[in-house]
Structure formats: C-alpha cells, structure tokens
Structure 1
Amino acid sequence: MGSTTVVTGIGVSPGRVVAPAAHLPEAVAEPPAGRRLPPGADTEAAAARVAEAAEDVRAGLDAAAEAAEGASAALLFATAAMAADPSLVADAQERVRVDHLVPERAVWEAADAVAAQLAELGGYLAERVRDIHDVRDRLVARLTGRPAPGLPALPHPYVLVAHDLAPALTATLDPARVLAVVTTAGGPTSHTAILARARGIPAVVAAAGAAGVAEGTTLLVDGAAGTVTLDPSDDVVQRVRALAAAVRTFDGEGRTADGQRVELLANVGDPAEAEAAAASGAQGVGLFRTEFAFLDRTEAPTVEEQVAAYGRVLAAFEGRKVVVRTLDAGADKPLPFLRAAPEANPALGVRGLRVAETHPHVLEDQLTAIARAAADHPGTTTWVMAPMVATVDEAEGFVAACARHGLGTAGIMIEVPSAALLAAPMLAHAAFASVGTNDLTQYTMAADRLLGAVARLSDAWQPAVLRLVEMAAAGGAAQGRPVGVCGEAAADPALAVVLVGLGVTSLSMTPRALPDVAAVLAATTSQECRRLARLAVTAPGADHARSVVRGGLTVLDELGL
C-alpha cells in the first residue's frame, strides 16, 4: 500500500495517534468435530472438568470486574455470568455423558447452540452472540491448557487492529499499551466505541479497508475524523506527536468565546468513578447511571444498599449538581430479578420507565433511596430523571411519583422521536430534559445501535437526529426549561459545537472529553455555533454534516482534534 493510502471508517473516540499496527491474535481454534473420549474413559470426571473450567473463567472475569470501573466492570460481570450459565454448562456436560465428546468439543457445540438461538431472536440478543463466542473460547482455552484470548504481547505500544473486539477484552484495554483501536466492524455506539471513549483511546470503527493493513505498518489514527493513514510522512508524525504531548485541563467553567455559559458535566457509571469525575473539573454529573447497583444480582438491592451507593456519588459532588437516572433496564438489558418474558424486538419492548408498570416496587424503592441519599447530602443539588419516556402522560406520572417522595426537580430523557416532538407539552410538567443521543439515533434511523451492518446509519451526525435535538431544545425554551445532552455525541468536540448551536444548555460526557470540548467551545462564538448547526441540520447526510462542520472549525487542527 502506498504512503498516501487512507482508510476511512467512523470516528468514535477523538484523538490522533501514531504507532505501529498490531493485529488481534487469531481466535482459539475449533476442536475437531466428533472428537470423543477414549473407550472406558471416566465420563463423570470429564463432565466435572467442564464445570471446573466454567468456574475458573467466571472467577477470573469477576476478579477483573472488581478491579474495573463503570461500563468496563458491568461488561466483565455480564461476561462472567455467561461463563457460569448453568444451562450452557449442563448442555456441555450432557454432550460429554451421552455423546462421549471430549470436554472442549462439548463446550464448543453447546455454546454454538446457544449462539444460534440468540441469533435467531435478533436485536440486542443477537449481539450477545459475540459474548457467547468469547466465553466459549475462554473455556476451550482453559480446557486445553492454551492461553486465553488476549491482546498482542509486544514490547512497545501499538494500534490494535481487529475485526471486532469482545466486550470482555475491550474492558481490559490498557491505554499505555493500546494507543488506538481500529476495527473493521462495529458502530458508533458499540461497546468498543463506548469503552474507548471512557478510557481516552482514539478509535475508528467500521473501517473495512483496515483488514489488509500489514503487521507493523505505521498508522496515523484520527479518532475524530474517522481516518487511518498508512505510513504518514515524518513531518506529519512529528506534528501529531507534539500535539499529543500537550496536556489540556478543564477549569470548571464551560463557555463559548463570547461568554455564553454551557454546563459541562460528567457521565458517571458507578461510585468508583465519581471522585475522578469530580477531580476532572466537571461542573456536576449530567448522567448518573444507577444500573451498577442492580447488576450481577438475583434480587433487587435493598433501599439501604441503594442509599449508601448513591450517597457516595452525591458526596463526591458536594456543592454541585447530580442528575440521577432511574433504572434503565428491561428485556434488552436483562436483570434476573425482573424476570422479563422474551421479546421478539427487545429495543421496542418493556424497558426503562416501562418496567415500572410491571414492577412498580423497583421504581418506588429507588425513588425512596434517592430521596434519602439527597437528604443525607443537602449540599449537593440532586435532580432525577426517567429513561424511555414516550408520552406526556408518562412524563406527568413520573414527575408526580418523584413529588410524592419529596424529589422536586424531576426530568425526562428524550430518547425516542415522540419525546422530541412533544418536548414542549412534556416540559410543561418536567423540570428539565436530557437527550440520550445513542437511543434517539437508533429509533430515528431504525438502525440497531449495536449492529455493525447499519453503523453508517447509527450516527448522531445524521441531520434527522440533529433536527429532533433542535426540536427538543426549542420545546424546552418555550417552557423555560433546560435541555441537555448526555449521550455519547456530547463527547465529540465538533458535534458539541453543533449541539450548543441547536439550543442545548448542557453537555454531559466521559470526564476525559471535558478538556477538549471546553477548549473548542471556548474558541467558538455562540453565533458561529448557530451557523455551523444550520449547516449540519441542512446537510444531505451524516458524512457531509461532519465534514462541513469540521472544515469550519480550524481550532480542531490547531488542537490536534
């Protein structure tokens, strides 16, 4: 490939990095079909090895989860639960006992059977096929004494190139070793994208041309523009490295060049992240995901447990604002104690606030706990919002429920088009709104946010999505209510400019993105934000919108963004 070759994909985590390419090692080889135990072998002992391997893999993943934080911990716990799935283990053991398969082949076939079932169900559950294959490979590696799936073991940092990354592997990426990630599959809201942003690792996904990049090729990865340049010139390399060496910080005050105030907040996934988020200068928490308290449990946490957990985050942000989102779960994010019935299309099923209809005690207990935690920390301004609100009645009902618990500042998330279209009447009841761009994009574009095949549609730069954000902001302005963005789009400095130009009053993001977003806003006037926003919403497509806005922001090149 020539020195000017550029591979394009979708930029999902900003930053520019130059390093040699390293391909993800090949997956664990499939054990030979039909391989059986020798005559007279102890089938019970062989079956017991399956359970032992599952327990070892589960324990290893649980240990990694305990050492991780936020989304990384949640993904590792979820994969650990899959490794110890009684149905998977039992099926493999049955294949050993009845078909006399060797343990590794029995595991392979049992896992493939589960994967086939999930693929047939489609939607979110089909995406779990990758997780099942990851668990399968780990079990087979354990049973055959081979290394578990892992990253390249090189003596120097590198750009990781892969078809896709299993969530459990992505969750353990070390930014000191993996300087950037390039995948040929995936989308803007895939686990790879979300975790790369959280760890500050530049990433480009859906870059099909990267599959042919030779091992060791020097790559310039631009995680904002979505480009991968092969063998860049020495001058370009030196400039990128000089810009990368510059350290930016956030002074705790978000504003445009002409002084328009924009709250820059942090997304927090669990209490362990709160102190670091507070130290980053975040003006508060725009999205406190409470799912962490419910994960890896067969029963819902008690009110007392929730009070203690929420209190840790409120304590870290004494004197600032924390927006607590009630449980965002359901059939697409299954929790054992909810005992949800299988759904043909989970993304359109019982999730978010809808869960309260079938499990009202879960929401009541959570509001009780939030109210008690808020009372324990009067120095923190505590707001609460509900996910997946679709109707005015739902908004009014949630606000009333919060009021019964003494929670006076109750808001809604705008994640479905109906909420954006009805923002004004909804905000006649709710005190504020926050746009979740990941789901809003999914539902607007009819494109599964986790499906790589429609990654080009799953892009918050889509003009249709931006128009709905504009409508939501206008609805808030009509009622004198603030409307923020807490989806992944807020972490893109160029898109942040557009969102402010559309009328958004606050942006909540991974704390690592705060300095870059603040720097770009501080160099851009509010009038220029509005001008670029008009160009974006009137663009014919996402790629054009991104290109024209980035082309109008010279500060991005100056900052290496």
Structure 2
Amino acid sequence: MPEVLRGTGVSPGVAAGPVRPMSGAVPEPPADQRHAGDAHAERARALAALDAVGADLEERGAQAGGEAQDVLAAQAMMARDPGLAGLVTDRIDDGLSAPRAVYEAFGVFRAALSRAGEYMAARVADLDDVRDRAVAVLLGVGAPGVPDSDEPFVLVARDLAPADTALLDPAKVLAFVTRDGGPTSHTAILARAMGVPAVVACGDCMDLRDGTIVLVDGASGEVRPDPTEQVIADAHAAAGARAAALDVTTGPGATADGHRMPLLANIGGPKDVEAALACGAEGVGLFRTEFLFLGRTTAPSEEEQESAYRAVLEAFPSVVVRTLDAGADKPLAFLPPPDDEPNPALGERGLRLFDSHPGVLTGQLRALARAADGLDVELHVMAPMVADAAETRSFVAACRAAGLTRAGIMIEIPAAALRAADLAAEADFFSLGTNDLAQYTFAADRQIGGLARFQDPWQPALLDLVALAAGAATAAGKDCGVCGEAAGDPALACVLTGLGVTSLSMSARSLPLVRAAVAAHTLDQCRRAAEAARRATDADGARTAARAELPGLEPLGL
C-alpha cells in the first residue's frame, strides 16, 4: 500500500477515521439463465421489479429533498423507461429469465452512455445502481448498501449510487473515497451539496482494509493510510488556516497590489444562483444552458427559455451565457448526430451542430435577447467548440442579428488558441474551456482513467496555449476569461492571473479559496509563477515551480 493514495478531490475538507467499505454485491445472473416457459408471468415479474425500484427511488428522494430529490427522480425515470421495458420484454420472449433479461437490457443502455462522452458517461454509475437494485429484487437478495457502524467512518466504494449518497448522515460519514467517478458524477455533486470531503478516481482505494485509519483531503485528492496523530493534527491546522483566511478575504477579486481579477461562478441553471451569491460570485462566467434541453424529445420553446434565462440575469450584474453545447457527451434526441459519425468528440458538436439545425441557435439567441431586455445586466453570449475565424464571424453575425451586442467564443480547440489573433479580430471576448482544450491538445479522452495525467491543467503545453490566447486578446483589447476546472485551483488561479487572463470562473464552493490565494500575491509574483510553470517539462514540475513563487499559499494552508 502506498504511503499516499491519490485521486481527484471533488469536495473540499479534511477528515480522518476508520475505513468502512460498501456492503454486499449483486451477482450477475448467469448468461444462460432461462425461464420455465411462462413468458407472460416472467415479463410481469420483471416489470414489477423495475416499477418497485422506481417507487423506492422516488421515496428516497422525497426523504432527502433538495438536489438529491432531482437526482433520484432522474434515476426513477431510468427504471421506468419504456425503451428499457421493451428490451427486457424482447429478451424474455427469447427465453431469458427476468434477472438476465433485465441485466442485458441495462447493458444496451450502459454501452450507449459509455460511448457518449464525459457528461453522459458520468451517469453510468446511476444506471448500474438501478440495474443492481432491480436484479436484487428479482433474485431476492439485498442490494449493496452503506455499512452499519457504531462510530463515524470513511466510506470506501467502487462508486456510490445517488440513492445511497442522498440519505447518508454527515454525522456518521466523515468522507467518501471511490475508485471510480469524476468531478461531474452524482457522487461528487451530492458530496459537495452535503459538505462532506470526497475523493473520486482513487485507483488503489479498494485495497484499503476495513478499519484502517485514513486521512482524506477532499481538496488535494490525497488519501493517507495510517497517518500519525501529528499528520492528522497538521492537516486540521491547515484546514483551520484556510477557514480563517476565508473569513477575512471578502469583496471583489484582486491581487495584493490591487490588480482586479473578477471571480465568477459556473452555473447550470437558476437553482445554482443562491449558492453562487452566497460564495461571493461577482457574476457568472459560464451559464450552461444544456439543463433546458437535456432529456427532452423536443426543444424547449423560446418562452420557456426566456423565463429560465431571466431568473439568472436578474441576479447578477454580468452573465456569460454559453449557447447550447450539445452533441458528443451531451446527445439530444431532437438533434441527432449523423449516422456515420464514428467519433462524436470530433464530429458535429457545439457550434457545428447548428449548421444542420440553425433554428435552434436563432431561437436561443432571440430568447436571450428578450430575457435581458429592460434589465441592468451585461449579457455576454459565447459559442462552444469554435475552430477558426470564419466560425467566429458567423456566430457574431447571428448574435448581432438577434440584438445581442457582446458575442464571444470559447477557446477549446488548439487551432483556436494557435490562431487566437485572427479570432480576436472577430469576437468581442474569449473564454478558455481548459477541460476540452486539454482533451484535444493531448488527444486523450477525458473518460479514460489511464490517461488522467493528460487532463492535468498544470501541463506546460496547456499553459502555453492559455498564454497564446490571453496574449492575443490583450493585444486586441479584448477580455479573455477561464471557465474550466483549472480556475478553481487556488495556486493555478494565481498562475492564470500571471498568464494574462482577465477573469476566473469556477464552481461556487471554490470561490473563497481562490479569492484568498489571489489576494495573497502581487501581480508580479503571479507572473513569475506563470513563467516558472511554463519552463517546466511536466505537470508536477510546473506545480512545484509555481508554488515556489507563491509564498502566500502556505499561510493559507493551501
């Protein structure tokens, strides 16, 4: 067992306690398991099990309330999906038993989600949980669950299902550590909502023995087995220092010498407004509009869109809206990709999708313009997945036609960063999406755990592209923000400031730490840190070199 296990921190905080693994596992029904001959009875048994699972999930959601209720309601819809029922029925008609038919039917859905990209693949764990619960009902065995314990514990699992996560008692569960999952998984989302430290994608965690004391850092992603009392005390002291720094660091984002760095929030809809305001967001740097479109068979009306957009625009002085980013990892039933698209991540996604469906874009732009009408808000609208000046010019023209005066683009494709000067001549602003920019720069799928090092935003090549885009924007007198996960890393936020970006947008919970880190350093220190990071040859070297130039991080416990 390594001295330190490393994963991805998705919910900040520090906790230490004994490991307790998830209990039980539902066995896979044998591939040749067949029913006794009464297909009608077997179909009824299978569908009743799915309906029972759906009802149980809805009941758990009602008990949990809040965001968890929405998550579990979505799972209940999976259990009752007519397409799934049809697949189960077909397999039972072919002679398979109800448990095996259910297992195979879910396998079809699972394969489709796994191929669909990061956003949808993050729902695979939810699908597996519904499958296991239905199979458990049919086999008459218990579903995997949270272990009983007389003392608070650190929960370790391959992954955590929303149905289990939603009803956890934070007084009993000190932290989560999972082998699978990612920042967009429901485990991560619910952990952040509960305020429980969580680390996902920790490959060695399943080797931790029941009862082993571990120290979990939900910010750094480190899990330390058998820590000494002094190590635990130091970790809690660092967490206390962070909390103290956050209490005194308020107001607009700025460096120690007064260089303004607006700190904005990434949100997914009106439900995220309250948390963003509570954490001191100065505006919205990324308003993802997919929430209105996902899971539907038809596009939302312009009136429905206008109402949702206005609820956000009324709350902030400045909002950057990303137009619908569909395709690849976010497929939509009413915007089907071409049948012969072998690699959706390199196909018709983002702005490209509107070439085939222009009415969706024009309708969204009209709804945004009407939503902002009469409000005292700076509305910025940007397109995802823009590759060149021609696409930039076309999008800006569409915005102008709809009455929108601030039209920009996301820099997510290396070509856009390399020729950023051309694009800056056409766009009103840039926003860097570091997640996709890393994926395309390193030809490394964001879902493949074995390639995770290429998704590290500290990679010097990625920092070079950020510098190119920011420099081109500055030369053209345009803004260039960052709205990818990189902006929420306090040390990297200082480096991005030094690279010349003009705003940082992140999840609401990351705002206080980033505000404190930026405020602890001068602009010159940030520039020196950026230069040191770019001179490194790998991500770890860049991180180490930058931190050496950022002495203000240590007193903050960062």
Q: Normalising by the residue count of structure 2, what TM-score does the alignment of the two structures yield?
A: 0.89
Return the offset for 1:21. Answer: 2.2
Return the offset for 1:17. Answer: 2.8
- 1:162-201 equivalences in 2 (<5 Å): 162-165=157-160, 178-185=173-180, 201=196
The match for 1:350 among 348, 361, 371 is 348
- 1:417-496 equivalences in 2 (<5 Å): 417-496=414-493
Q: Is the 8 A contact 1:186 1:455 kept in 2?
A: no
The match for 2:99 among 74, 99, 104 is 104
Alpha-carbon distance in 2 for matches of 1:544, 1:49: 58
Return the offset for 1:359. Answer: 1.0
Question: Within the alignment, does 1:50 sit opposite 2:59 as a pair?
Answer: no
Alpha-carbon distance in 2 for matches of 1:161, 1:479: 51
Which residue matches 1:397? Answer: 394
Alpha-carbon distance in 1 for matches of 2:153, 2:52: 30
Residues 547, 178 of structure 1: alpha-carbon distance in 2 compared, 3 angstrom cutoff: farther
Q: Is the 8 A contact 1:58 1:83 kept in 2?
A: yes
**Higher mean C-alpha displacement, 260-269 vs 205-214:** 205-214
Residues 158, 531 of structure 1: alpha-carbon distance in 2 compared, 3 angstrom cutoff: farther
For the residue of structure 1 that corresponds to 2:445, the secondary structure is coil
Residues 335, 116 of structure 1: alpha-carbon distance in 2 compared, 3 angstrom cutoff: closer
Question: Within the alignment, does 1:311 sit opposite 2:307 as a pair?
Answer: no
Question: Within the alignment, does 1:83 sit opposite 2:82 as a pair?
Answer: no
Residues 347, 76 of structure 1: alpha-carbon distance in 2 compared, 3 angstrom cutoff: farther
Which residue matches 1:387? Answer: 384
Question: Within the alignment, does 1:299 sit opposite 2:298 as a pair?
Answer: yes
Return the offset for 1:556. Answer: 3.4
Alpha-carbon distance in 2 for matches of 1:278, 1:202: 22
Residues 83, 354 of structure 1: alpha-carbon distance in 2 compared, 3 angstrom cutoff: farther
Letter in 1 for 2:256: A
Alpha-carbon distance in 1 for matches of 2:383, 2:66: 23
Q: Is the 8 A contact 1:196 1:202 kept in 2?
A: yes
Which residue matches 1:222? Answer: 217
Residues 14, 275 of structure 1: alpha-carbon distance in 2 compared, 3 angstrom cutoff: closer
Unaligned residue ranges in structure 1 (runs of 5+): none
Which residue matches 2:207? Answer: 212
Return the offset for 1:199. Answer: 6.2
Which residue matches 2:501? Answer: 504
Alpha-carbon distance in 2 for matches of 1:279, 1:554: 28
Give a deviation string over 1:224-260, Cα, whole Å, max 9, x none: 4442212222233234334445363552310111111
Alpha-carbon distance in 1 for matches of 2:200, 2:147: 19
Give a deviation string over 1:504-527, Cα, whole Å, max 9, x none: 111111111111111111111111
Q: Is the 8 A contact 2:528 2:549 kept in 1?
A: no
Alpha-carbon distance in 2 for matches of 1:493, 1:528: 14
Return the offset for 1:410. Answer: 1.0
**Higher mean C-alpha displacement, 234-243 vs 102-111:** 234-243
For the residue of structure 2 that corresponds to 1:508, the secondary structure is strand
Residues 475, 178 of structure 1: alpha-carbon distance in 2 compared, 3 angstrom cutoff: farther
Residues 520, 444 of structure 1: alpha-carbon distance in 2 compared, 3 angstrom cutoff: same
Using CA pairs under 8 Å that are at least 6 residues apart, name the structure with larger relative contact order, 1 or 2. 1
Give a deviation string over 1:357-396, Cα, whole Å, max 9, x none: 11111111111111111004x1222111111111111111
Question: Within the alignment, does 1:20 sit opposite 2:18 as a pair?
Answer: yes
**Higher mean C-alpha displacement, 271-280 vs 441-450:** 271-280
Return the offset for 1:454. Answer: 1.1
- 1:238-257 equivalences in 2 (<5 Å): 238-244=233-239, 246=243, 248-249=246-247, 251-257=250-256
Which residue matches 2:511? Answer: 514
**Higher mean C-alpha displacement, 484-493 vs 200-209:** 200-209
Q: Is the 8 A contact 2:155 2:177 kept in 1?
A: yes
Q: Is the 8 A contact 1:74 1:295 kept in 2?
A: no
Letter in 2 for 1:235: Q
Alpha-carbon distance in 1 for matches of 2:263, 2:193: 16
Return the offset for 1:178. Answer: 4.6
Alpha-carbon distance in 2 for matches of 1:239, 1:231: 14
For the residue of structure 1 that corresponds to 2:227, the secondary structure is coil
**Matched residue count:** 551
Residues 265, 61 of structure 1: alpha-carbon distance in 2 compared, 3 angstrom cutoff: farther
Which residue matches 1:139? Answer: 134
Letter in 1 for 2:338: A
Letter in 2 for 1:281: G
Letter in 1 for 2:509: R
Letter in 1 for 2:472: G
Residues 513, 129 of structure 1: alpha-carbon distance in 2 compared, 3 angstrom cutoff: closer
CA RMSD of aligned residues (A): 3.1
Which residue matches 1:277? Answer: 276
Which residue matches 2:260? Answer: 261
Alpha-carbon distance in 2 for matches of 1:292, 1:64: 23
Give a deviation string over 1:255-274, Cα, whole Å, max 9, x none: 11111110000111111111
For the residue of structure 2 that corresponds to 1:337, the secondary structure is coil
Question: Within the alignment, does 1:286 sit opposite 2:285 as a pair?
Answer: yes
Letter in 2 for 1:546: R
Q: Is the 8 A contact 1:323 1:383 kept in 2?
A: yes
Alpha-carbon distance in 2 for matches of 1:68, 1:488: 28
Letter in 2 for 1:86: P
Give a deviation string over 1:90-142, Cα, whole Å, max 9, x none: 2222222331x3322221133335545766x6865777655543332132134
Q: Is the 8 A contact 2:58 2:76 kept in 1?
A: yes
Alpha-carbon distance in 2 for matches of 1:521, 1:321: 21
Q: Is the 8 A contact 2:263 2:281 kept in 1?
A: yes
**Higher mean C-alpha displacement, 542-551 vs 462-471:** 542-551
Question: Within the alignment, does 1:235 sit opposite 2:234 as a pair?
Answer: no
Which residue matches 2:156? Answer: 161
For the residue of structure 1 that corresponds to 2:453, the secondary structure is coil
Q: Is the 8 A contact 1:17 1:244 kept in 2?
A: no
Unaligned residue ranges in structure 2 (runs of 5+): none
For the residue of structure 1 that corresponds to 2:156, the secondary structure is strand
Letter in 2 for 1:268: I
Report the identity percentage: 54
**Higher mean C-alpha displacement, 45-54 vs 475-484:** 45-54
Q: Is the 8 A contact 2:122 2:181 kept in 1?
A: no
For the residue of structure 2 that corresponds to 1:286, the secondary structure is strand
Q: Is the 8 A contact 1:189 1:450 kept in 2?
A: no
